[in-house]
């Protein structure tokens, strides 16, 4: 299973990751960048006075392999 993770820089310059609960596994880099830039433009999320999503840094798919034991 692949999970999309987008890394942003917050207003303090630190990295902040966001992984949507459901995302297609075949999105193009252009589609993901547009989604991330749209989220930055909303300027909605803040924690303890620090805006969380200020600049898009990177994006990746993280693949998880599950092995059933029983």
Domain ranges of the chain: 2-63
CA-CA distances (angstroms) from residue 55 to 27, 39, 70?
20, 10, 44
- pTM confidence score: 0.82
Q: What is the pLDDT of residue 18?
A: 92
pLDDT digits (tens, 9 = 90+) for 10-66: 999 999 999 998 888 889 999 999 999 999 999 888 899 999 899 999 999 999 888
Q: What is the pLDDT of residue 44?
A: 87
Mode of pairing for the β-strands spanning 50-51 and 46-47 = antiparallel
Q: Write b or e for each residue in 3-17: b if 16 or more Cβ atoms lie within 10 A of its Cβ, otherwise e.
A: ebebebbbeeeeebe
pLDDT band at 6 (very low <50, low <70, confident <90, very high): very high
């Amino acid at each position: 299973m692949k999970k999309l993770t987008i890394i942003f820089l917050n207003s303090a310059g630190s990295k902040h990751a966001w992984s949507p609960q459901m995302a297609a596994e075949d999105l193009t880099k252009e589609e993901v960048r547009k989604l991330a830039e749209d989220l930055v433009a909303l300027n909605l999320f803040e924690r303890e006075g620090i805006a969380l999503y200020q600049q898009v840094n990177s994006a990746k798919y993280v693949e998880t392999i599950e092995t059933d034991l029983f």
